[in-house]
Structure 1
Amino acid sequence: MENITIDKNQEQAKQPGKEFKMNPEPLTIRKNYKGSDKLKSKVVLLTGGDSGIGKSVAVHFAREGAMVSIIYLNEEKDALKTKSEVENEGGQCLLIKGDVKDEQFCKKAIDETISKFGFLNCIVNNAAMQFPTEHIEDIKTENLHTTFETNIYPYFYIVKAAMKHLKEGDTIINTTSVTAYRGSEHLIDYASTKGAIVSFTRSLSKSLAKKGIRVNAVAPGPIWTPLIPATFEGEDLEKFGKDVPMGRAGQPAEVGPAYVYLASEDSSYMTGQVLHINGGEVIGG
């Protein structure tokens, strides 16, 4: 994968950010990625699936034969484009607009997915927000609540509502972050939620092991997604990802296949684990 040159003269006023405004636009899937029906006829519910890593997961899953239900907040144009790309892969795509901070909405999203497809095989908890702040004293209480209510609470809401539909052989995949392992001085609250996701993954995996439902996670490093220009600017944006051993930011296309692996039978003897896709940072856990 080639290095990307990020235009530092771009920023977006609000999160989660819009992919169509990014320069360069992220790569969703490699042209030479060949699907092999690893997820044929599976139904997947994916939060934050309109862009970035979530979009990459949706398109990879569709190429592997899955039907996809995507929850998105308000990024209408990105969501419609993702739906189109999923359908171009031969898959079906249901778009569900709403805020995952609302538990009743999360229950409704599960119900709509079942109404559309009849069953559910995989949950991908992925939606997140972040508010970079240099000092803990400057973290706004409102932002602290938003970060936790977006990044970890919905994982509980979605899984609780889905449990009556999941069965042996089904999977749950959570998106954590490299920041959960190495920390982040300017993303203390965000990193804390990602650490909570690691513990959630490990604990839930033990709880569901006897039911044959596997629970794993992916911990991306610096990946070029709409969240980045929506939260960083200028020099911070220009140097994004350059401090990892591989010397560059990653593309969503380099993360999506990990979710395919965790959702498929290829990972049948794996639960409670985290895959680290971070450009070479060696971290514990």
Structure 2
Amino acid sequence: MSDTRRPEPPYPKQEQAPPGVTPKMDPPPDHGEHSYRGNGRLEGKIALITGGDSGIGRAIAIAFAREGADVAISYLQEHRDAEDTARLIEEAGRKALTIPGDVSKEDHCAGVVAKVVEELGGIDILVNNAAFQRTYADIADITAEEWDTTFRTNIYAPFFLSKAAIPHMKPGSSIINTTSIQSKQPSPQLLAYASTKGAILNFTAGLSAMVADKGIRVNAVAPGPIWTPLIPSTMPQEKVENFGKQTALGRAGQPAELAGAYVLLASDLGSYMTGAVIPVTGGEMMI
């Protein structure tokens, strides 16, 4: 049965220009604004979340702040969404830092980490969550430039950011990558995006082993279909209308429903987890 926080399809027809913004979504996503309750699991920690202005990133930011962390969010140019997320962080009594710019560029990524360290005093948690996607029916329609943009945003950026952050991380720190069910069940129309999500799985596994002796844990969360601005701004309207209907739960997931997985991996609750992938897929199997 549907409820106001977890509505079932069909969803209203809608379309946005990429990358999309939260206020135009119908129904509005649930990021845990009214439901997430913290337990001090990240007290005194400093977190950086890419793509933290909206969607999954906003839900993570709310949860981390309510668990006691100061939170920096990087985002492309969606200033209103970023301001709304920063306000929610500050309402939880924590420091918020917003950093706009393109994470596909290495110098920007290095600058983001440097700013977080300078203004917040360090970095304990890095969440590589920013993503770029577009849908195409024919490989001939995908330009080399767009393929490059997808890879630079989705897999180069986690490399750039991890490389910059690790020298500042103490034992007990955590890197969390956002992969996708697309890494195991690629949709043909999301060829470039799905390819990067498969690469993120291997990046997570390899990096986790590389930094284990530093006491840094590296894990990933694999969402299924989640109701974020990326959906109405990058998918055909008929796909948007029935988004998530194919899952066992019969609906798209809400960003708030992923927050707990990131808190687990960022906190001492997940202290014996590294190289792991947590699927949050509404019942779709990660095979």
- Per the shorter chain, which TM-score range? over 0.9
Q: Which runs of 5+ in 1 are unaligned?
A: none
Alignment check: 8 A CA contact 1:8 1:233 kept = no
d(CA) in 1 for partners of 2:270, 2:169: 17
- Residue of structure 2 aligned with 1:266, choices 265, 269, 280: 269
Tell me which amino acid in the other structure corresponds to 1:100: V
Residue 7 of structure 1 and its aligned partner are, at CA, apart by: 4.1
User: In the alignment, what sits opposite 2:74?
Assistant: 71
SS at match of 2:102: coil
User: In the alignment, what sits opposite 1:139?
Assistant: 142
- Residue of structure 1 aligned with 2:14, choices 10, 14, 18: 10
Listed one character per residue, the Cα deviations across residues 34-89 of structure 1 (whole Å, up to 9, x for unaligned) are: 21100001000110000000000000000100000110100010000000011111
Which stretch shows the higher mean deviation, 118-127 or 6-15? 6-15
User: In the alignment, what sits opposite 2:205?
Assistant: 202
Tell me which amino acid in the other structure corresponds to 1:9: K
Alignment check: 8 A CA contact 1:49 1:55 kept = yes
Kindly indicate whether residue 159 of structure 2 is the aligned counterpart of residue 156 of structure 1.
Answer: yes
- Residue of structure 1 aligned with 2:168, choices 157, 165, 169: 165
User: In the alignment, what sits opposite 2:280?
Assistant: 277
Tell me which amino acid in the other structure corresponds to 1:70: I
Alignment check: 8 A CA contact 2:53 2:81 kept = yes
Alignment check: 8 A CA contact 1:12 1:230 kept = yes
Alignment check: 8 A CA contact 1:125 1:173 kept = yes
SS at match of 2:167: coil
User: In the alignment, what sits opposite 1:36?
Assistant: 39
- 1:167-246 to structure 2, matched below 5 A, reads 167-246=170-249
d(CA) in 1 for partners of 2:191, 2:70: 36
Listed one character per residue, the Cα deviations across residues 116-147 of structure 1 (whole Å, up to 9, x for unaligned) are: 11111010000001111112222222211110
User: In the alignment, what sits opposite 1:98?
Assistant: 101
Tell me which amino acid in the other structure corresponds to 1:161: A
Tell me which amino acid in the other structure corresponds to 1:128: A
SS at match of 2:279: strand
Tell me which amino acid in the other structure corresponds to 2:167: K
Q: CA RMSD in A?
A: 1.2
Listed one character per residue, the Cα deviations across residues 134-172 of structure 1 (whole Å, up to 9, x for unaligned) are: 122222222111101111001111011112101210000
User: In the alignment, what sits opposite 1:54?
Assistant: 57
Alignment check: 8 A CA contact 1:9 1:233 kept = no
Alignment check: 8 A CA contact 1:241 1:247 kept = yes
Q: Which runs of 5+ in 2 are unaligned?
A: none
d(CA) in 2 for partners of 1:2, 1:18: 19
% identical aligned pairs: 49
What TM-score, normalized by structure 2, do the two folds share? 0.96
